[in-house]
Amino acid sequence: MINVTVLTDNNQITEFELSGHAESGPYGYDLVCAGVSAVTFGAVNAVIALCNIDLDIEQGEEGGYLRVQFPHSLNEEIMEKTQTLLEGMIVSLETIEREYSQFVKIHRK
């Protein structure tokens, strides 16, 4: 099971964490894992490239873990752009969760 935890403060995403493995198919053919990875890494790469900010990123060596923290001290325009990209990521993850709820759970705190 992949657990996605999204932390917010004042309706702003401040951090998200993914842990676990979907195990919906054999290694290298796990489409749920591939989808979750593509969505999250795509969003993180988009934030870095389009918002030009440094993120605090922690990854597990064997996969199955990703934690990303976002700076609190961003100007309003960059914060808005970052949040839009992150909300897009959440919408995509929720779409995966609806189809594959036995493999993915999203928790908001």
- Active site positions, annotated: 21, 33
d(CA 102, CA 28): 19
Side-chain half-sphere exposure of 33, counting CA atoms within 13 A:
17
d(CA 4, CA 36): 10
CA dihedral sign, ordered 18, 35, 95, 1: negative
